[in-house]
Amino acid sequence: MSLLHTINSAEDISLLNEEELFVLSSECRQFLIDTILKHGGHFAGNLGVVELTVALLKVFNPADDRIVWDVGHQSYAYKILTGRRENLKSIRSYGDIAGFPKRGENPADHFGTGHSSTAISAALGMAMASKLTGKYSQTHIAIVGDGALSGGMSFEALNNAAASKANLLIIVNDNQISIDAGTGAMNEHLAGIQPGEPNLFTALNLDYHGPIDGHNLPLLLENLQYLKSLQHPRVLHIKTTKGKGYAPAEAEQTKWHSTGKFVKIEARQTKETPKWHEVAGQCMLDIAKQHSHVAGITPAMPSGSGLVNCFQTYPERFFDTGIAEQHAVTFAAGMATNGIKPFLFIYSTFLQRGYDQVIHDIALQNLPVVICIDRAGLVGEDGPTHHGAFDIPMLRCIPGLTILAPATATELNAMMQQAVYAEHPIVIRYPKGPVPDLSWEFHTETILSHPGICLKKGEHTAVISTGNATLLSHEAFTLNNTPASHYHFPAIHPLPCGLLAHIKQQYSRIITVEDGCIAGGFGESVSQYLYQEGFTGKITHLGIPDAFITHGSNDILYDVCGYSPQKIAETIQTTFSK
């Protein structure tokens, strides 16, 4: 039996000698490589923190101390060594462990960290609570990596930390990369820090130690043992390599940030069905070629948003702001005041961080920023921290926004092309995953002024869907020969009132379907309008229920939420039988 298979808790690691810790690190890294390449999950970032994880669990005990991983996708080795080793093969699968730390999953998970730049704030809050309850010996550790130090919350927490006198240890896992290459002055500053010289941390009166080699296990153990003896705010700066121990991941760190199931190096060369973010990126490149006044912005997601070719072709017009969503939104607003047409590419759940800026800096000033919301709707295995459930209700209440949701690549292209000429804010939301090979007769050149289409004419009941939900509904109509009608609304807000008035006159029962939360969403806006106009029939809403949806494949989650094609078809059938 390998040494790794005898480890089920930090207590087991505390009994090992240094030679055994070397063996454990090697076995843990190989276990990660073998398992994640076969079953999928976050990859390169986890390989970079194996020695750190082993050292942390040798020196500290999660039963007594508090360990917070930031960003959370670097916590796989931690999960392996705290009793979840055999779950790694099904990580991110429905009903099994999450891909991020999750309170309630294991006693060692002290704080959920699906998004970045939260760990210092959370650990500092824990430390202050410990002081208030007399637990002065409890150490509170924030491991900040993969570019998370560039996020605004990290700066706010650092500003607060030194004055707190709390028992707080901040470990800066400096690998010079987030998902894409590191960017900004913070990245450059970390790269240039020399031992004994002043730096950002010393300027903030934090007790700084480092930088040291984060793969040197004896050096890590020595530093962590010493830092454990202190009880004031301190920083350990370690240098690591993302993808450490797997040559392809070390060479192409962005490419190997995360892997799908059954990955083979040669398989990555095969042509795959285009994904929504790739189509959006190609459209953006075409627009940039046509219009010299157009610029693109993303908060640390050039590859995830499909913009790598844009950055390479027009580096002077495409901007990576780093993990700084609030700044990215207002940065776009500033550009829009001065003759530039900015396209902001941002994930749905990341836009939540810039909500105030969308309201005050874009909408209130009616600035013509185009916000391309990627990963809208359910996103599968990344789970509740990344499901784009809330952007529709979050945005449709803001005056002046036009919110669009394409169902095909043709529609997405038309929306982005026409948004170039809009003189007010435009929001375009699209899902994660492959783009369907579907098309239908529609005047896409007038999509902003004629935002609705009847895909199937029937009687009695009308299904009204938008965006990705239109594809699910379209499939539902193929499952049985229902006489219901199907309407696709590429415009979520404002609604096509003329078409809704026609639907009100023609049907007594309506089913709305959306890949977003029902509460305050697209369907409720439809029913609000229809009931105000005197509709007396029945309206049923399908979408994400009033709950945080777990991780798992989208096919499973659509069914759990009640708007898989099969569930939509059953709802139509039930409506007709009443």
* CB 257, CB 354: distance < 8 Å: no
Question: For residue 4, what are its two tokens?
Answer: 């790794």
For residue 363, give the DSSP letter.
Answer: I
Residues 411 and 502 in one domain: no
Q: Which CATH number do you get for residue 46?
A: 3.40.50.970
Residues 243 and 318 in one domain: no
Spatial neighbors of 8 by CB under 8 A, at least 6 apart, are: 83, 85
Per DSSP bridges, beta strands 140-145 and 294-298 are: unpaired
In a domain, 54, yes or no: yes
Among 398, 429, 460, residue at a domain's last position = 429
The DSSP string of 78-145 is HHIIIIIGGGGGGTTSTTS--SS--TTT-TT--S--SSSS-HHHHHHHHHHHHHHTT-TT--EEEEEE
Closest residue by Cα to residue 498 from 457, 454, 467: 454
Residue 208 pairs with which residues in a beta bridge? 235
In a domain, 571, yes or no: yes
Alpha-carbon distance values, 529 to 12, 300, 466, 487, 522 (Å): 62, 39, 16, 16, 11
Residues 81 and 49 in one domain: yes
Residues 412 and 471 in one domain: no
- What pLDDT, on the 0 to 100 scale, is given for residue 263? 41
Query: pLDDT means per 10 residues in the chain (578 residues)?
Result: 91 95 96 90 88 97 94 90 93 91 93 89 94 86 88 91 92 79 79 91 95 96 97 95 80 69 42 88 98 96 94 97 94 96 97 97 98 97 95 97 94 94 97 84 59 87 96 92 91 93 94 97 97 95 97 96 96 81
Closest residue by Cα to residue 379 from 432, 329, 416, 343: 432
pTM recorded for the entire structure: 0.90
In a domain, 270, yes or no: no
In a domain, 82, yes or no: yes
Among 204, 227, 259, residue at a domain's last position = 259
Residues 288 and 161 in one domain: no
Q: Structural domain of residue 567, as residue ranges?
A: 451-577
Residues 491 and 521 in one domain: yes
Residues 185 and 309 in one domain: no
* CB 143, CB 69: distance < 8 Å: yes
Residues 202 and 322 in one domain: no
Number of helical H runs and strand E runs in the chain: 23, 19
- For the annotated catalytic residues, the residue numbers are 242, 325, 353
Total domains, the chain: 3
Residues 337 and 370 in one domain: yes
Residues 230 and 286 in one domain: no
* CB 388, CB 442: distance < 8 Å: no
In a domain, 440, yes or no: no
In a domain, 443, yes or no: no
Q: Which CATH number do you get for residue 478?
A: 3.40.50.920
- What pLDDT, on the 0 to 100 scale, is given for residue 578? 64
Question: For residue 41, what are its two tokens?
Answer: 């999950």
Among 231, 259, 287, residue at a domain's last position = 259
- Whole-angstrom distance, CA of residue 328 vs CA of residue 323: 9
| Phi/psi at 39 (5° precision) | -110, -10
In a domain, 442, yes or no: no
- Whole-angstrom distance, CA of residue 48 vs CA of residue 147: 13
In a domain, 444, yes or no: no
Residues 236 and 306 in one domain: no
Residues 47 and 182 in one domain: yes
